[in-house]
């Protein structure tokens, strides 16, 4: 099974591989070598990462919005939503942090087809400090989640931002949300592999 090792970068979250370069996640069967049981379960989970990470850590997490704004639709972004046509894309980068200590544990990078959401949800995307998964759950019908693939990333800049003292490997999961038959969001979740090897807490 192929894995993509992204090089160290001082532009965290920007150098994302093309869909064709991702190691596939096929249904509920993940053909992987070298990943832990926790990592495999997270790859095939059908839901947002926050409650799973809270369960692993044994403490509450909060969302910190790092970047939130409209970005131009280039060919690379359009490809990630194909075959759904997109005209307005909102990029939303958040970190999940310990509610008590403030330590950051994970980054999520979402490209959102803003036209796929109603006015109230657009307001939440723009103004609120909620994760994309919680915002999507406000829809009358829950969105479909389609796993796309995963890769292993080596990113020194992001490791430093997470408070890690050395270059860190990240397990990066990519999935898409579909609303009323149209692709509404493409999300990449980046999880430090050292965190996913944590011992049972408390």
Cα–Cα distance, 166 to 146 (Å, whole number): 33
Cα–Cα distance, 7 to 179 (Å, whole number): 34
Residues 6+ apart with CB under 8 A from 149: 19, 22, 23, 24, 25, 174
* Mean per-residue pLDDT of the chain: 77
Q: What is the mean pLDDT of residues 71-90?
A: 91
Better-scored residue on pLDDT, 79 or 27: 79
H-run or E-run covering 178: strand 169-179
> pLDDT tens for residues 59-76?
888 888 888 888 999 998
> pLDDT tens for residues 174-193?
999 998 889 999 999 888 88
Nearest to 194 by CA among 157, 151, 150, 159: 159
Band of residue 156 on the pLDDT scale cut at 50, 70, 90: low
Cα–Cα distance, 186 to 80 (Å, whole number): 7
Question: CA torsion, points 70, 111, 49, 129, in degrees to nearest 10?
Answer: 10
Which whole-number Å values give the CA distances from 197 to 37, 60, 90, 170, 178, in the listed order? Answer: 10, 19, 33, 12, 31
Contact 43, 27 (CB under 8 A): no
What is the value of pTM for the model shown? 0.81
């Amino acid at each position: 099974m192929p894995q993509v090792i992204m090089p160290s970068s001082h532009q965290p979250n920007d150098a994302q591989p093309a869909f064709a370069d991702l190691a596939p996640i096929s249904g509920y069967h993940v053909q992987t070598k070298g990943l832990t049981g926790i990592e495999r379960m997270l790859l095939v989970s059908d839901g947002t990462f926050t409650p799973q990470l809270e369960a692993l850590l044994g403490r509450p997490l909060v969302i910190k919005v790092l970047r939130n704004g409209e970005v131009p639709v280039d060919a690379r972004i359009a490809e990630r939503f194909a075959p759904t046509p997109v005209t307005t894309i909102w990029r939303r980068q958040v970190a999940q942090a310990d509610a008590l200590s403030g330590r950051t544990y994970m980054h999520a990078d979402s490209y959102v087809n803003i036209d796929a959401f109603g006015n109230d949800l657009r307001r939440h995307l723009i103004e609120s400090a909620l994760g994309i998964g919680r915002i999507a759950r406000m829809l009358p019908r829950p969105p479909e989640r389609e796993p796309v693939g995963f890769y292993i990333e080596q990113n020194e800049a992001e490791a430093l931002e997470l408070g890690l003292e050395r270059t860190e490997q990240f397990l990066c999961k990519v999935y898409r949300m579909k609303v009323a038959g149209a692709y509404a969001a493409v999300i990449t979740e980046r999880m430090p592999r050292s965190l996913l090897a944590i011992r049972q807490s408390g």
